[in-house]
Structure 1
Amino acid sequence: MGLKEKIKSNESLKKLAHWSILIPKQTRPRLWIKLFVNPFYHKKGKGAIVRPRTRMDVVPWNKFELGEDSTIEDFSAINNGVGDVIVGDRSKIGLSNTIIGPVTIGNNIRLAQNITLSGLNHNYEDVSRPIHVQGVSTAAITIEDGTWIGANAVVLAGVTIGKNCVIAAGSIVTKNIPSYSVAAGNPARVLKKYNHETKAWEKA
């Protein structure tokens, strides 16, 4: 049994490891994790930039990857505490985005401002206990290559948005969006699809 498995199987060791990595009662990693662990554990491609005023709540037990020539702009928050956050090549994460894993963002993606992608939900079934002590559930979000998401959009856990889609500003995406689609609204619905035979965008 390896060290990781020993820690997971022993509740006391698990609590100690958790305490040593995260600031108590917060989701933020300790300074020594940021300085001496994350730079060597997580992958950052050539030309990738994380702006200095980005909040990186990134821990070593899940992946964080930022591809070549990709950028995360200021005032964004990235959290991989409950699932991997993976960003492909040449993708731009706009100002004030919130990304909570598990989330996979493909290549050549454009996210505008104030977008939320959250692969996390809080459990709430037991009404005798506060929601925040009932744990969480996760379902992966996938944004495929070439997609553009407009400002103030929200993408919920478990959603896949296909290739070369346009998600209009302010949309709430609750269900999968097929590739080559334009979607808008709350909940978002497909308004147009690209017809590869006629080479034109057509009403859905």
Structure 2
Amino acid sequence: MNLSKVKDKIKHSPNWKRRIHSLMFSNARPRLWVKWLINPFVFHHGKKAVIRRQTVMNVSPINQFHLGMHSTIEEYTIVDNGVGDVIIGDYTRIGLRCTIIGPVQIGNHVILAQNITISGLNHRYEDPQLPIHQQGVTAASIQIGDDSWIGANSVITAGVNIGKHVVVGAGSVITKDIPDYSIAVGNPARVIKIFDFDQKKWISVK
């Protein structure tokens, strides 16, 4: 039985899932033996990729983590692949104090400014008689296309697809998909400009 089949079997068995989780995690963080003995053999970063010393890497072999070549994760950022893969492309910079919770896929030549939250995780809240933490979670993948720039203090919610060559203004809250070659701002964010290839310039959207 190959590794992917073993992982799939564990994910579909509540008992095995609890046992493996208890073995590998403590208070939602990978245990030290996972970080020191397993992760170095599982996760291989691209050439000249940099993860700053003060970055919090809550990653484990349960899901994928990939950092492309010449990409950087700056200080005090938190990366967590506990509920889904975190894939970061080439020549991408993750700024100071960002939070990235999978499932998330970030393209090549992307710039994330400071204090950005990107979370593919949501808590269920279907029964108001129960505490939220007892109702489980859902996960929906977030994608950010190549050559995009996300402004400081922005929030990107689960399930959102941001296209390529997109600019998101500082402080925006992205709750819906943003198309390629556009500029979006606000809470909730809306597209205010698109690039017109015939006129070769950005034009306002009414």
Partners of 2:76 and 2:11 in 1: CA distance: 34
Q: 1:15 aligns with which of 18, 25, 28?
A: 18
Deviations 1:115-159 (A, max 9, x none): 000001100001121001111011110000000001000001011
- Aligned-pair RMSD on alpha carbons? 1.4
1:30-179 alignment, distance < 5 Å: 30-179=31-180
Unaligned runs of 5+ in 2: none
Residues 190, 13 of structure 1: CA spacing in aligned structure 2 closer, same or farther, 3 A cutoff? closer
Residues 121, 6 of structure 1: CA spacing in aligned structure 2 closer, same or farther, 3 A cutoff? closer
Partners of 2:184 and 2:10 in 1: CA distance: 45
Residues 6, 180 of structure 1: CA spacing in aligned structure 2 closer, same or farther, 3 A cutoff? closer
Structure 1 residue 5: deviation in Å?
Answer: 5.3
**Residue identity opposite 1:128 in structure 2:** Q
Give TM-score scaled by structure 1 length: 0.95
Residues 6, 190 of structure 1: CA spacing in aligned structure 2 closer, same or farther, 3 A cutoff? closer
Residues 15, 100 of structure 1: CA spacing in aligned structure 2 closer, same or farther, 3 A cutoff? same
Aligned length: 202
Residues 193, 59 of structure 1: CA spacing in aligned structure 2 closer, same or farther, 3 A cutoff? same
After TM superposition, the structure 1 stretch with the greater mean CA deviation from structure 2, 151-160 or 8-17, is 8-17
Secondary structure of the 2:57 match is strand
Partners of 1:44 and 1:90 in 2: CA distance: 12
**Residue identity opposite 1:186 in structure 2:** N
Contact 2:111 2:149 in 1 (8 A): yes
Partners of 1:155 and 1:32 in 2: CA distance: 32
Secondary structure of the 1:82 match is coil
Partners of 1:67 and 1:40 in 2: CA distance: 16
Structure 1 residue 202: deviation in Å?
Answer: 0.3
Structure 1 residue 42: deviation in Å?
Answer: 1.8
Give TM-score scaled by structure 2 length: 0.94
* Percent pairwise identity: 54
Structure 1 residue 114: deviation in Å?
Answer: 0.0
Partners of 1:192 and 1:62 in 2: CA distance: 37
